[in-house]
Amino acid sequence: MLRNSALLLVALLGQAVPALASQSANPNVVALTKQAQAQGKAGDIAGAERSLKAAIAADPTTSHALSMLARMHLLLWQQDDSHLAWHHRAAALELIGRAQQLDRKDPQVDDILEQLSGKFDRQQHETNTAAEDELSAGDREAETGKCELAQVHYEKALKLAPRNADALIAMGECQEAHGSMVQAIELYRKATALEPLQPGTWRALSGSLGLQKRYDEARIAALHAVAAMPSDSDSWNILRVLTRIVQPASIDTFAYKPMGSYSRSKDTTIVEKGMPIPDFKAWMFFATSQAEEMDPKKPARSPFAVELAAWERVLPTIAAMGDADQIKDETMRKMLMFHKAGQLKAALFLFAWRESYRPEFEAWKKANPEAIGRFFNTLRVFA
């Protein structure tokens, strides 16, 4: 894991240093960034992080070192298979937010935010070069209002890649543009049947139904979008809006940020400094539970099975603590709530999503087709 991350970091720093050197007048920033590059090439990720932090301190007015460090944590989050991954994601989000405030035109901002939203782990369309060429040709015709000509290209694309729903979505958008909503919805439904794990197909259907004020159906489609890829922020945004329309009562939002994590690769426990005593005890219990569940002497299990077992093991202990009601950490409070409501498995799938959870998630959805809708209707908690 760390070897792959080091290679990615080297590639990042090799590209980003020239851009930073040309835009910062502070020689310390240039020197520190070059130092980070050298450390990355040597596989010293911790050293590269220290150098980038020093570059940020040397010139707090430029965004480049911030966005570079955010990229590093993003890559570590994507590559890390330990429970420390969530700390990398939180760090990347905080850093790129600061970079965005300094320079909205920083070329890395949008890309990093998009990848943090979960788009990097979406299922891939079936496609090939010839199909992509036809899609592009159709898009050029559609942009000039020539939807009939565009449809010819989209149909060719679908024949070349029969399992790629992009062509159906493009046809539906043409129909929407010309007010043919019934035909558009039909095309979007076909797209969801072709690629049910593509959240964009469900969002297209949800949006079209919403324009028809068929809000109940639109919300169901949005639920499917979240269920297709629980890390996709666009799907969550649509689902929250439609839930407020269909069921106008208060809702809650939640970001899964475990503070106490154990990494088998580093044999390290991380607990946030300055925590209140109840929070500290709860997270130390959790870290111990993770460590025991990740014991290499145990039979090999999937990442989701390990995470679920750790929570199932520790939550009754935490709930029984004499000062459990004084816990302030939002993640721990929510996990206790989900556990008491019998919704722990659903909550982990939805809020702690990793693509490695996919096999168990698909099996769970098949065995419990109403479970996700029931979760939201009962608890009204959204990412």
| Residue 9 predicted with pLDDT over 90 | no
Please check whether residue 134 lies inside any domain of the structure: yes
Which CATH number is 150's domain given?
A: 1.25.40.10
pTM of the model: 0.80
Phi, psi (5° rounding) for residue 270? -110, 125
| Residue 111 predicted with pLDDT over 60 | yes
DSSP assignment letter at 119: G
Q: Are residues 160 and 189 in the same domain?
A: yes
Please check whether residue 17 lies inside any domain of the structure: yes
Please check whether residue 123 lies inside any domain of the structure: no
- Percentage of the chain surpassing pLDDT 70? 89
Please check whether residue 256 lies inside any domain of the structure: no
- Domain end call among 211, 227, 249: 249
Q: Are residues 215 and 294 in the same domain?
A: no
The per-residue pLDDT for 34 is 86
Q: Which residue has the higher pLDDT, 156 or 118?
A: 156
**61-75, 147-161, 198-212, 347-361: the lowest-pLDDT one:** 61-75
- What is the number of structural domains in the chain? 3
Burial readout 112-127 (b: 16 or more C-beta within 10 A, e: otherwise): bbebbbbbeebeebeb
Q: Which three-class secondary structure state does DSSP give residue 85?
A: helix
Q: Are residues 147 and 72 in the same domain?
A: no
Range of the domain at 300: 261-382
Q: Are residues 112 and 162 in the same domain?
A: no
Q: Are residues 12 and 97 in the same domain?
A: yes
- Domain end call among 225, 249, 273: 249
Segment 44-54 shows an average pLDDT of 91
Q: Are residues 134 and 112 in the same domain?
A: no
Q: Are residues 345 and 295 in the same domain?
A: yes
- Domain end call among 90, 116, 142: 116
The per-residue pLDDT for 14 is 44
| Residue 190 predicted with pLDDT over 80 | yes
Please check whether residue 176 lies inside any domain of the structure: yes
| Residue 205 predicted with pLDDT over 80 | yes
Run of H or E including 270: strand 268-270
Please check whether residue 122 lies inside any domain of the structure: no
> What is the tens place of the pLDDT at every residue in 328-364?
999 999 999 999 999 999 999 999 988 889 999 999 9
Using alpha carbons, select from 28, 233, 4 the residue that is nearest to residue 121: 233
Please check whether residue 299 lies inside any domain of the structure: yes
Q: Which two tokens stand for residue 270?
A: 């991380």
